[in-house]
């Protein structure tokens, strides 16, 4: 089958090629979110980043992550260059008193 190139076909080809262009990530900064851990106490947090690299943190800038073992949102600690769940529960414990660093 041969494709005849005329104005209509060229427009259609250009439109299809435009749809095949890679999508770009959507960046959000300081976007408020609410998470509900297993105890039902809602947490007001913030999200910055895109779908590939993002960070969730509290109003004081302390990074939080979900502990897969308990399901609770906890303050993150750095171990061997990676963020892992700490023992302090977000919204309940004080990360500043435990000398955690914001960010």
Average pLDDT over residues 48-69: 92
Determine what percent of the chain is predicted with pLDDT higher than 70. 76
Of 12 and 49, more confident: 49
Assess whether pLDDT exceeds 60 at residue 59. Answer: yes
Assess whether pLDDT exceeds 50 at residue 7. Answer: no
pLDDT, tens digit, 9 for 90 and up, residues 70-101: 999 999 999 999 999 999 999 999 999 888 88
Per-residue b/e over 66-87, b at no fewer than 16 CB within 10 Å? ebeeeebbbbbbeeeeeeebbe
Task: Tell me if the pTM is above 0.85.
Answer: no
Q: Is 42 helix (H, G, I), strand (E, B) or coil?
A: coil
Sign of CA dihedral 67, 72, 73, 79: negative
């Amino acid at each position: 089958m041969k494709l005849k190139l005329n104005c209509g076909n060229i427009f259609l080809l250009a439109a299809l090629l435009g749809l095949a262009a890679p999508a770009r990530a959507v960046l959000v900064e300081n976007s408020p979110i609410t998470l509900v851990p297993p105890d039902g106490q809602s947490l007001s947090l913030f999200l910055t980043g895109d779908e590939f690299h993002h960070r969730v943190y509290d109003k004081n800038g302390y990074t939080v992550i979900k502990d897969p073992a308990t399901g609770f949102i906890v303050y993150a600690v750095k171990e061997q260059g990676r963020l892992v769940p700490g023992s302090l529960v977000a919204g309940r414990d004080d990360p500043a008193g435990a000398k955690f660093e914001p960010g």
